[in-house]
């Protein structure tokens, strides 16, 4: 409990410090002016792309869960899950997917945890590949030497690939080692120890199901994961040009990747404020955008992104609540 409280305090501090630093470069009026000058058509197009990415995410979880939960139900769960993930600090909102899958669809904690981990690993791999491809196209035009960041990206990609195959092909071996050590210290005599052991078994069992799945399942996972991020990067591009950033498409996509990395790492503050803007600004400054415009559009993008997320979050929660009330009535 204390660790969670410390994480909350750290997230608040990160948010306050980063926002304070960023606001030394711009004013609130700059952000308001940028938002008011956006053509509503771009906002609508961006929202359509955002919904599309949610549908593909639901489809991906539908595939991972052996089609035992409908895409519609997973779409609603995903809406609430993404809302919690974008509002709560340090990626703690991820737990909402596991909780909702268990309470609304009677799936085990292990199934929720395993499918979430597999989905996130695929996300990390696709993001890293896109980032490296964008870099190869624009590396000669960068205003700053980003060689260290690229090396980190390569290591990140390598780590995720190793982690994925390690969990899938050696999950049982890890579980046996864990259970052996747990038995040695009589870990299961503690309630939390017994709980962790059982949930680990459930998680590894789900990994085994995915490993033994047919080629169509694995192909679907790859295609859906690529589709999710193609739609997401298309959204970033549309919002960027709607705020007056006129660069080559690959430059915008490369720059926006920094904002993406700020959201997938467990360092974000409350609502992601501060970290997303800092990532966006860093990326666009690297491709030649002035500091004030980069920071200003970073706040603009984040506000638009949150409006999309909150809107779908409310929609998803309303549908879940209605379905729950309908079950009670019958």
pLDDT of residue 164: 66
Between 325 and 242, the higher pLDDT residue: 242
Q: What are phi and psi of 225, to 5 degrees?
A: -65, -40
Q: Work out the angle between the directed axes of helices 95-105 and 291-329 (0-180°, nearest 10).
A: 20
The domain in which residue 150 lies consists of: 2-329
What are the tokens at 314?
């409310």
pLDDT of residue 215: 79
**How far is Cα 306 from Cα 287, in angstroms, rounded to an integer?**
25
Whole-number CA gyration radius for the chain? 21
What is the tally of structural domains in the chain?
1
pLDDT of residue 188: 52
pLDDT of residue 203: 60
Nearest C-alpha neighbor of 274 from the set 10, 93, 9, 14: 14
What is the arithmetic mean of pLDDT over 93-110? Answer: 88
Q: Measured between alpha carbons, how far is residue 119 from residues 62, 236, 305, 328 in Å?
A: 11, 21, 21, 32
Between 206 and 47, the higher pLDDT residue: 47
**How far is Cα 96 from Cα 100, in angstroms, rounded to an integer?**
6
What is the arithmetic mean of pLDDT over 12-24? Answer: 65
What is the arithmetic mean of pLDDT over 169-188? Answer: 57
Give the chain's mean pLDDT: 80
Nearest C-alpha neighbor of 120 from the set 95, 102, 89: 95
Question: For residue 257, is pLDDT > 80?
Answer: yes
């Amino acid at each position: 409990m204390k660790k969670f409280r410390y994480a909350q305090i750290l997230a608040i501090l990160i948010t306050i410090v980063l926002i304070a630093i960023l606001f030394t470069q711009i004013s609130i009026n700059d952000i308001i002016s940028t938002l008011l000058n956006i053509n509503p058509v771009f906002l609508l197009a961006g929202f359509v792309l955002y919904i599309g990415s949610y549908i593909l995410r639901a489809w991906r979880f539908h595939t991972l869960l052996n089609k035992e939960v409908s895409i519609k139900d997973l779409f609603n769960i995903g809406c609430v899950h993404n809302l919690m993930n974008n509002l709560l600090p340090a990626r703690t909102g991820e737990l909402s997917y596991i909780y909702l899958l268990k309470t609304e669809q009677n799936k085990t904690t292990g199934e929720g945890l395993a499918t979430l981990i597999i989905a996130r690993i695929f996300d990390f791999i696709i993001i890293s590949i896109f980032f490296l491809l964008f870099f190869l196209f624009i590396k000669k035009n960068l205003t700053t030497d980003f060689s260290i960041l690229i090396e980190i990206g390569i290591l990140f990609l390598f780590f995720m690939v190793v982690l994925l195959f390690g969990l899938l092909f050696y999950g049982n071996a890890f579980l046996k080692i864990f259970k052996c050590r747990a038995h040695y210290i009589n870990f299961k005599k503690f309630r939390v120890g017994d709980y962790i052991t059982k949930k680990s078994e459930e998680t590894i069992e789900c990994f085994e199901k995915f490993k033994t799945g047919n080629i169509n399942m694995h192909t679907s996972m790859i295609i859906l994961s690529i589709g999710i991020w193609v739609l997401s990067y298309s959204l970033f591009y549309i919002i960027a040009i709607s705020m007056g950033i006129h660069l080559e498409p690959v430059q915008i996509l490369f720059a926006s990747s920094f904002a993406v990395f700020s959201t997938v790492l467990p360092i974000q503050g409350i609502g992601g404020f501060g970290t997303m803007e800092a990532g966006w600004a860093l990326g666009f400054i690297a491709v030649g955008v002035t500091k004030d415009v980069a920071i200003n559009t970073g706040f603009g993008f984040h506000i638009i992104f949150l409006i999309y997320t909150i809107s779908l979050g409310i929609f998803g929660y309303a549908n879940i609540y209605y379905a729950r009330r309908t079950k009670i009535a019958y």
